[in-house]
Amino acid sequence: MSALKSVGRDVLPHDLFSGKTVFVTGGGSGINLGIARSFAELGASIGMCGRSQERLDAAAAGLRDFGAKVSATSADVRVPEQLQSAMNVSRDALGDIDILVCGAAGNFLVQGENLSFNGFKTVIDIDLVGSFNASRIAFEQLKRTRGSIIFITAPMAHMAHAYQAHVGPAKAGVEMLMKNLALEWGPYGIRSNSIIPGFIEDTEGMRRISSEADSRNFIQSIPLRRLGMTQEIGQAAAFLSSPLAAYITGTSLWVDGGQALSGSGFFNNNSAAFLASNPRA
């Protein structure tokens, strides 16, 4: 993990988030761990949850290498009692949450006509209901700290993508949740924004929707001609949580190398072949 290059520490004060607590749902891997790492590098304490305690423990060990205090307790975001308990453990160890990152999500590629009722509900429950649960449970802490929330959404929230009839509505719902909370909780000093990552290399999300070869082809549709890196989402989260963003709320920040400008056609054209070559086990 420490081998990954991050420019956050090169351009921002190392103690930017010293004394601050960041809680990341789904923080044990991928983009969310990249976000946790960016905050840890800049002095924050990290609370996090996910379903696998083993994964969280491995992630926490990496974050402690940066000198961060970490509280990592397994919880399923669909179960408010579990989430409440993980946030209580974090609060007791690290203090009130200043920045909540709602990143836990689930995805798989499936044709709409083959998507089961429970498959649709499962993704809505993790992405949308889980994001509401986390925000609602963290509210009192965020009110005390005049903190902020960052929701991790996806291009599917704004553009139809093939075989994503569950993810599109789930992430679009999260985008609206972000805006509603910005409206209602702004008077408490709580800001609410989202980050929309593009295609981020070496992540589970990418592996579930494309092959290595597809990923390389996608690059032709990305104006900056490369995939994104997890630490670049972390850097965007650091910006949105810094005093530089004090007047920014209710907005979505695309961090996608300009990929949305090309639409979803390239993705749609590859999806049938990917699904055919990766049948569900």
* Bridge partner list, 148: 99, 191
CA distances from 251 to 36, 167, 279 (A): 21, 20, 37
Q: Where are the beta strands (DSSP E) in the chain?
A: 21-25, 45-49, 70-72, 99-102, 148-152, 191-197, 252-255
Per CB under 6 A, the list member of 5, 92, 246, 280 interacting with ligand COA is 280
Q: Using CB distances below 5 to 8 A depending on partner kind, what does residue 32 bind out of ligand COA, ligand NAP, none?
A: ligand NAP
Query: Cα–Cα distance between 281 and 264 in angstroms, integer?
Result: 27
281 near ligand COA, rule: CB under 6 A: no
Tell which positions 188-217 bind ligand COA, by CB under 6 A.
204-205, 208
CB of 90 to ligand NAP, least distance (A): 14
Query: Cα–Cα distance between 230 and 233 in angstroms, integer?
Result: 5
Q: Using CB distances below 5 to 8 A depending on partner kind, what does residue 29 bind out of ligand COA, ligand NAP, none?
A: ligand NAP
95 near ligand COA, rule: CB under 6 A: no
Q: Using CB distances below 5 to 8 A depending on partner kind, what does residue 222 bind out of ligand NAP, ligand COA, none?
A: none
106 near ligand COA, rule: CB under 6 A: yes
Q: Using CB distances below 5 to 8 A depending on partner kind, what does residue 206 bind out of ligand NAP, ligand COA, none?
A: ligand NAP
Per CB under 6 A, the list member of 9, 84, 93, 108 interacting with ligand COA is 108
Residue corresponding to tokens 């004060």: 13
Q: Assign 213 to helix, strand or coil.
A: helix
Return the residue nearest ligand NAP (CB atom).
Answer: 30
The site for ligand NAP (CB under 6 A) is made up of 25-26, 28-32, 49-52, 55, 76-78, 103-106, 126, 130, 152, 154, 197, 199-200, 203-206
- Fill in the amino acid letter for 26: G
Q: Using CB distances below 5 to 8 A depending on partner kind, what does residue 116 bind out of ligand COA, ligand NAP, none?
A: ligand COA
122 near ligand COA, rule: CB under 6 A: yes
CB count within 10 Å of CB 160 equals 11
Of the candidates 141, 99, 59, 105, which has an alpha carbon nearest to the alpha carbon of residue 236? 99
110 near ligand COA, rule: CB under 6 A: yes
CB count within 10 Å of CB 185 equals 20
The answer to whether 261 and 223 have CB atoms below 8 angstroms apart is yes
- Residues in contact with ligand COA by CB under 6 A are 105-108, 110, 116, 118-119, 122-123, 204-205, 208, 280
